Structure 1
Amino acid sequence: MLRLVLRSHLLLRAKLALYKGYIRSRLTYAAPAWYALCSTSQRKRIQARQSITLRIIVGVGRYVLNDAIARNLCIETVEEFIQRIACRMFDIADQGPHEFLRNIAPTQERSSSGRPLAREITKTPPPKQ
């Protein structure tokens, strides 16, 4: 159903608004909490889903680079988007009036299991592709 809408003759701005408002919000729901725990292959799959969707929206052939499509549409990578919303979420929580939300996900060393903490995605820049 969504593929039909994205391939339709709607204006490009309308398709991008649909992507940003509906698809990307579902793709990254609660991402500041779970994205740090994703493996590299899972992150690549999420980024691939965005690239496929943008390719459908624009309707380009297979020989156009995904980076070129995203750059021309001014769409950031999934990792950059999640890093931006995570920084904003933690800043709002740390500076808010509610004491119990301050330092909700403290910055500290990794646990003994080696799993990353949720706040770590705000500290590391996204990898260059």
Structure 2
Amino acid sequence: MTAPSSRPLESWNSPLNRLQRVLDLLPEWLDKWRMAVNVGKTVALLIGRRVAVPPLRLRGQEIEWKTHVTYLGCRIDRSLRMVPQANHAINMAKAARAVLRPVLTSRLPLRTKLAVYKTYIRSRLTYAMPAWYGLCSQHTRQRIQVQQNISLRVLTGAGRYVRNDVIARDVKLQSIEDFVAHTARRMYDKADHGPQSHLWNIAPLHARPPDRSGRALPR
């Protein structure tokens, strides 16, 4: 084996060995706390370039490597761009809006229709979004925002020449990005001021250093 071809394998050995050592210690911890793991349903996520990676083992069984997994309802892909999760959230929002269109276009008070949108459509669109929205590209974020724009246009009956930001301003509804930021901030504030001291300052916010051009990166 030549040196160039051996470098990728060598680069994998160290983290794989560390992972395997953790998996070797895991059964003792699981038995101590009387917890069980279905090894047959346990998978490992491969991030980055697809290469041949030796399998990991837990309780004598091989753990399958995959390029995408679903964890707590979130679809995580190997690029960590969260495009599959965004597509799923968009499809869920579209389906809910299609079912609720008779309600959204009815003569119900606008306040009631907004409550219906927040409860049944936005909740599906923004499921667990504070955890994955920051990984999305600007294009993906725009696609998500479009779903809210369409819903607001349907429930208000606004004309085609009315701007989306004007509709959102009139109904006093924040953008998806602002909603996610507010939700995340409230969640962290609740943890920082809660009785569980181990959750205090669990995700500190640090100013990002400037890039090579000297331009400060957004936080």
TM range (shorter): 0.7 to 0.9
One-letter amino acid of the structure 2 residue matched with residue 47 of structure 1: Q
Residues paired across the two proteins, number: 112
In 2, the alpha carbon distance for the partners of 1:35 and 1:95 equals 24
Alpha-carbon distance between aligned partners in 1 of 2:127 and 2:138, rounded to the nearest angstrom = 18
**TM-score normalised to the size of structure 1?**
0.78
Write out per-residue CA displacement over residues 6-28 of structure 1, whole angstroms, 9 at most, x where no aligned residue. Answer: 11222211101111222222211
**How do 1:1-129 and structure 2 match up within 5 A?**
1-108=99-206, 124=219
Once the two structures are superposed, residues 59-99 of structure 1 have per-residue CA deviations (whole angstroms, 9 ceiling, x without a partner) of 12211100110000001111111111111111111221112
Note the alpha carbon deviations across 1:27-80, whole angstroms, 9 max, x for none.
112121111111111110111100000000011221110011000000111111
User: Identity of aligned pairs, percent?
Assistant: 56
- Report the Cα offset of residue 108 of structure 1: 4.9
Equivalent-residue separation in structure 2 for 1:81 and 1:97 (angstroms): 26
Structure 1: how far apart are the matches of 2:178 and 2:192? 21
Q: Which structure features the higher share of helix residues?
A: 1
Query: What is the letter of the counterpart of residue 75 of structure 1?
Result: L
Structure 2 gap segments, 5+ residues each: 1-98, 209-217
Q: TM-score of the superposition, structure 2-length normalised? A: 0.48
Mark the runs of 5 or more structure 1 residues left unpaired by the alignment. 111-122, 125-129
Aligned-partner SS, 1:96:
coil
Task: Tell me what 1:115 maps to.
Answer: none
Q: Distance in 2 between matches of 1:38 and 1:30?
A: 13
Asked which structure has the greater RCO (Cα within 8 Å, sep 6+), the reply is: 1
Q: CA RMSD in A?
A: 1.8
- As a proportion of its length, which structure holds more strand? 2
Instruction: Specify the structure having the higher radius of gyration (Cα).
Output: 2
